[in-house]
């Protein structure tokens, strides 16, 4: 088991192997993710019972919760990838870290937007300075910092390492920020906290939520793979295997010899 | 060796008095913008004084962070310092100490004056000064990471706030709410304890991260 894992790690470290392995994996993740998302969303939107308090507006939960969960896990994955890159000098993990930053940021934005849309009918306002909302906003700011550092530093290797340091420092700080925001809020307006607490859900509402969450994770993997593969092709564009691959793809699509 | 570095940096800082005073003047100006922009009503000002002073302190620190490594980077002595036999994190710690003595500590002394001008209620002065004394080292420590990451960049000035401000948020929250607690006559030692804990955490983590950041910035 251990040796197999180690072999997989070394294979993933090579851009060519990574490309070939994820070609196969992507299809599976795409298929499973689609099935999960479809059943989850259709079940959640059409068949799950309406909430006795919020009516149908609660159904946005099937997008909101997966997006929020995933944007947080994406940050952790990014930081771990950065750590692996810094410690073991694994190039591919830097690529993965770089690719995740904009994905995680867009998931955080999606979560904030759906939260605002959900908040309007239920709380009567688009935004409150509540603990969860604020810490999500700060998570988005942390993503902005990482993206900004990629944009600011032209040297690729330097940018990767700098962003890795920043994301690791940020991940140490996330718990501090999260709890400080929660305590700050409970100091001032403890009443709103109860609004954000997750209601204990009935299983017919909860199972579709689980399905969409898993589906989001699968599609996140597909998304990360696709962007990483693009990066690989660009970075390795001068190597033989990429030239061969592109030629054969070209032949497949046009049927013509170059 | 480290003592020599400390002496040298302090001497350099006191030779250029302008750099020393600029953050302080900035701090006072930012604080005096709020009465002009919001309202000169003493009661309203008293309510927001703690927040205004702390936001001003954050911005003033950000402004002076650029000085931490910049001049040493430009004349090449930073590279020599990284080659010292002592660990780089100790060198960073010295730099942070100098930055705090020069740019952080004065904020704590001038803050009561600003509190007076903004009509801060009497109970707020003690926690204001205490929180500034405890938390400005945190600002310098975390700032060292940002300064290290951006030291080689031409457009680092705009980038640094983006990187560092999210990490400053816990400090802002606990420091300003300690002042609020003091104003309301409540016990503020809990907030101080949190600030102390955060100081301990950053004291351990930040020099290591900042040293790594400097190595990356200078690797070219």
Nearest to B171 by CA among A181, A161, A146: A181
- Confidence at A32, pLDDT banded by 50, 70, 90: very high
Q: Which residue of B has its CA nearest to A187?
A: B177
pLDDT on residue A174: 82
Chain A residues within an 8 Å CB radius of B166: 138, 141-142, 145, 170, 173, 177
Instruction: Output the DSSP codes for A17-69.
Output: HHHHHHHHHHHHHHHHHHHHHHHHHHIIIIISPPBTTTBGGGGGHHHHHHHHH
Cα gap A236→A47, rounded to integer Å: 48
pLDDT on residue A48: 79
Q: Does B168 touch chain A (CB under 8 A)?
A: no
The domain segmentation of chain A, as residue ranges, is: 68-228
Compute the nearest-CA separation of B172 from chain A (Å).
Answer: 10
Does residue B105 surpass a pLDDT of 80?
yes
Chain A residues within an 8 Å CB radius of B191: none
Q: Which residue of A has its CA nearest to B212?
A: A165
For the beta carbon of residue B47, count every other beta carbon within 10 angstroms.
17
Which positions in chain A have a beta carbon within 8 angstroms of at least one beta carbon in chain B?
86, 138, 141-142, 144-145, 148-149, 152-153, 155, 157-158, 161-162, 165-166, 168-170, 172-173, 176-177, 180-181, 183-184, 187
- Confidence at A191, pLDDT banded by 50, 70, 90: very low
Over range B70-83, report the average pLDDT: 87
Chain A residues within an 8 Å CB radius of B159: 148-149, 152
Does residue A220 surpass a pLDDT of 90?
yes
Does residue A195 surpass a pLDDT of 50?
no
Cα gap B173→A186, rounded to integer Å: 12
Does residue A187 surpass a pLDDT of 60?
no
The minimal CB distance from B166 to the residues A142, A149, A162 is found for A142
How far does Cα B44 stand from its chain's mean position? 27
Please count the structural domains in chain B: 1
Chain B residues within an 8 Å CB radius of A141: 162, 165-166
User: Are B166 and A170 in contact (CB < 8 Å)?
Assistant: yes
User: Are B173 and A180 in contact (CB < 8 Å)?
Assistant: yes
- Confidence at A186, pLDDT banded by 50, 70, 90: low
Q: Which domain holds residue B96?
A: 2-217
The minimal CB distance from A165 to the residues B173, B209, B220 is found for B209
**Span A205-214, pLDDT tens digits:** 788 888 999 9
Over range B38-63, report the average pLDDT: 89
Does residue A236 surpass a pLDDT of 90?
no
Compute the nearest-CA separation of A167 from chain B (Å).
Answer: 10
Cα gap B11→B9, rounded to integer Å: 5
- Confidence at A198, pLDDT banded by 50, 70, 90: low
Compute the nearest-CA separation of A161 from chain B (Å).
Answer: 7
Cα gap A68→B28, rounded to integer Å: 40
Q: Does B204 touch chain A (CB under 8 A)?
A: no
Beta bridge partners of A55: A51
- Confidence at B74, pLDDT banded by 50, 70, 90: confident
- Confidence at A123, pLDDT banded by 50, 70, 90: confident
Average pLDDT, chain A: 84
pLDDT on residue B52: 92
Cα gap B183→B177, rounded to integer Å: 10
Over range B77-102, report the average pLDDT: 90
Decide which of A122 and B165 is more confident: B165
User: Are B149 and A172 in contact (CB < 8 Å)?
Assistant: no
User: Are A141 and B201 in contact (CB < 8 Å)?
Assistant: no
Does residue B140 surpass a pLDDT of 90?
yes
Least confident of A144-148, A243-247, B16-20, B150-154: B16-20
Compute the nearest-CA separation of B135 from chain A (Å).
Answer: 15
User: Are A149 and B149 in contact (CB < 8 Å)?
Assistant: yes
Q: Does B197 touch chain A (CB under 8 A)?
A: no
3-state SS string for B89-118: HHHHHHHHHHHHHHHHHHHHHHHHHHHHHC
Does residue A200 surpass a pLDDT of 60?
no
**Span A159-175, pLDDT tens digits:** 999 999 999 999 888 88
- Top mean pLDDT of A13-17, A71-75, A88-92 is at A71-75
Over range A229-235, report the average pLDDT: 89
The minimal CB distance from A148 to the residues B159, B194, B201 is found for B159
pLDDT on residue B60: 92
Over range A216-225, report the average pLDDT: 94
Residue with token string 């005096």? B32
**Residues written for chain A:** 258
pLDDT on residue B172: 92
Over range B84-106, report the average pLDDT: 91
Decide which of A131 and A218 is more confident: A218
pLDDT on residue A61: 85
Percent of all residues in chain A with a pLDDT value above 70, rounded to a whole number: 91
pLDDT on residue B128: 93
Residues B65 and B146: beta-carbon distance below 8 Å: yes
pLDDT on residue A201: 65
pLDDT on residue B132: 94
Residues A40 and A209: beta-carbon distance below 8 Å: yes
Chain A residues within an 8 Å CB radius of B212: 86, 165
pTM of the model: 0.87
Over range A29-56, report the average pLDDT: 85
Q: Which of B50, B142, B149, B160 to mutate to test the interface with A (most CBs of A within 10 A)?
A: B149
Cα gap A81→A231, rounded to integer Å: 16
Over range A223-236, report the average pLDDT: 90
How far does Cα A44 stand from its chain's mean position? 22
Compute the nearest-CA separation of B190 from chain A (Å).
Answer: 11
């Amino acid at each position: 088991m251990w040796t197999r894992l180690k072999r997989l790690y070394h294979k993933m470290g090579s851009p060519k192997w990574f490309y070939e392995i994820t070609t196969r994996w992507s299809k599976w993740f795409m298929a499973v993710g689609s099935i999960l998302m479809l059943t989850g969303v259709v079940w959640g939107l059409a068949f799950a019972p309406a909430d006795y308090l919020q009516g149908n507006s609660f159904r946005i939960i099937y997008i909101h919760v997966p997006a929020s969960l995933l944007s947080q896990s994406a940050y952790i994955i990014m930081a771990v990838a950065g750590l692996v890159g810094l410690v073991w000098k694994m190039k591919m993990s830097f690529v993965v870290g770089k690719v995740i930053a904009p994905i995680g940021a867009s998931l955080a934005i999606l979560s904030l937007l759906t939260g605002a849309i959900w908040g309007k009918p239920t709380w009567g306002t688009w935004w409150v300075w509540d603990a969860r909302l604020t810490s999500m906003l700060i998570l988005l700011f942390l993503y902005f910092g990482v993206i900004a550092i990629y944009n600011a530093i032209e040297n690729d290797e330097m940018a990767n390492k700098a962003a890795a340091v920043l994301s690791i420092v940020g991940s140490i700080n996330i718990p501090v920020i999260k709890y400080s925001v929660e305590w700050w809020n409970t100091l001032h307006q403890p009443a709103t906290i109860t609004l954000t607490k997750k209601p204990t859900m009935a299983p017919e509402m909860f199972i579709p939520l689980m399905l969409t969450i898993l589906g989001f994770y699968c599609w996140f993997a597909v998304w990360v793979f696709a962007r990483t593969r693009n990066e690989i092709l660009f970075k390795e564009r001068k190597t033989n295997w990429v030239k061969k691959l592109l030629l054969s793809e070209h032949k497949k699509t046009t049927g013509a010899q170059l | 060796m480290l003592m020599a570095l400390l002496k040298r940096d302090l001497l350099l800082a006191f030779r250029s008095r302008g750099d020393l005073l600029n953050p302080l003047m900035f701090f006072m100006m930012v604080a005096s913008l709020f009465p002009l922009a919001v309202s000169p009503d003493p009661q309203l000002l008293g309510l927001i004084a703690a927040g205004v002073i702390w936001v001003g302190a954050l911005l003033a620190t950000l402004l002076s962070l650029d000085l931490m490594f910049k001049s040493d980077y430009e004349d090449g002595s930073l590279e020599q310092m990284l080659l010292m036999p002592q660990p780089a994190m100790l060198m960073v710690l010295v730099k942070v100490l100098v930055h705090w003595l020069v740019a952080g500590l004065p904020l704590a002394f001038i803050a009561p004056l600003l509190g007076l001008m903004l009509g801060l209620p009497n109970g707020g002065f003690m926690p204001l000064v205490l929180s500034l004394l405890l938390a400005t080292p945190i600002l310098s420590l975390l700032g060292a990471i940002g300064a290290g990451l951006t030291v080689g960049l031409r457009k680092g000035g705009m980038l640094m706030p983006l990187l560092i401000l999210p990490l400053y948020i816990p400090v802002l929250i606990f420091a300003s709410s300690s002042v609020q607690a003091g104003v309301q006559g409540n016990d503020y030692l809990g907030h101080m304890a949190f600030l102390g804990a955060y100081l301990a955490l950053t004291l351990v983590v930040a020099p290591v991260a900042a040293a790594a950041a400097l190595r990356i910035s200078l690797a070219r």
